[in-house]
Chains A and B, each alone.
Chain A
Amino acid sequence: MQSFGYRRPGTIDEALALLQEHGDAARVLAGGTDLVIELRNRWRRPKIVIDLKRIEELRPPIREVEGRLVFTALAVMSEIVADERVQLHFPALAEAADVVGSIQIRNRATLAGNICNGSPAADTAPPLLVYGAEVVIAAKNGTRRVAVDDFIIGPGKVDLQPTELVTSIEIPISATPIAAAYTRMTRRRGTDLASITLCCGVDATGTTRLAYGSVGPRALLVIDNSGVLADPAASDEAKAPVLASMFSAASPSPKSMRAGPEYRVAMLPVLGARALRTAIERQTRVP
């Protein structure tokens, strides 16, 4: 593999100092399931790789802080799947984390990496959008918080400067819980990238939040306040046009090898209706 330097800071401050010094000549390493491939293929040519795994402040990787569930930059998919707080409050996130790659990948790949990598097919993006998650970004001159919806920009692009470090992703444990479900479409069962990723959530006020990805340059969040979708008594016929309108921004690429654009567009309302039904069922037993 190409040569590069390796640093393993013990604190967030040390990591930030390294980023300050090296800027875009540095790459941050958390799980490495994307980065090591990029390094081997020379898609990235960093001078140094900054490994976050010795930063004690980032452990434990999942913690509850002041009404929020905090996933530090070191939280890996299998920990998220197994965490009882995630299963209780954010089951759609557990469902999404559980279908990322294989077990070997899930033992290594981080939630923060999944979002920072900026893949339009990132499985965890739709549930994070539905649950209203925020990205916490540290820099030498302070910390800023950005909604995941604003953080994701486009393929491989997120709102992050070379001198900044994503330290955690946080989800508010809301007083008005969102009951949500995640689903995806793949070519085959087992390890595969998604042709559609989709999460639907409803809350007690009748708001429906729908997020979907892999059908355009980035995962999108759309919100329905009409109450029709979340209404358990409303007919499928009444819901269909509302649901269809929520997918109007989908623009799947004709160049993707995973599924044709017509197929993806046709399957969106099918997956949407399924996830909506599961979300409504779950609403009867939200914590």
Chain B
Amino acid sequence: MRQTTIILVLLAVALTFTLFKVKYGVQHLEEELSSLNRAIHAHQESIHVLQAEWSHLNEPERLRKLAAKHLDLTPLGSSQIGSISDFPVSVGNETPVDQEADASGRQPGTHLTSGKAH
């Protein structure tokens, strides 16, 4: 009888202790959650501002000026576009002998020059 009482009292104390521990744990987590949510919101706001800045920095007019200043490139012209058949066939591990025996029978390199000519 006495033993049972002692065990029960101990159990009650242990349970109370655990209960409060869990409760405070949850409270702590909730605080953490709301602070994280605040941080997320702040980050979203900065992302929003940065997106606007990114778009502003990518303004084509500005990029063109920067490209003209720092790069030695000009806009692509139609004469610079060719098809894959305009290239010589020397691709891969084939030896020059194999190239000459190519099914088309064409000399490698001739197409590139003809592509330039028109």
Chains A and B bind each other: no
Please report B residues at the A interface, Cβ cutoff 8 Å. none
Please report A residues at the B interface, Cβ cutoff 8 Å. none
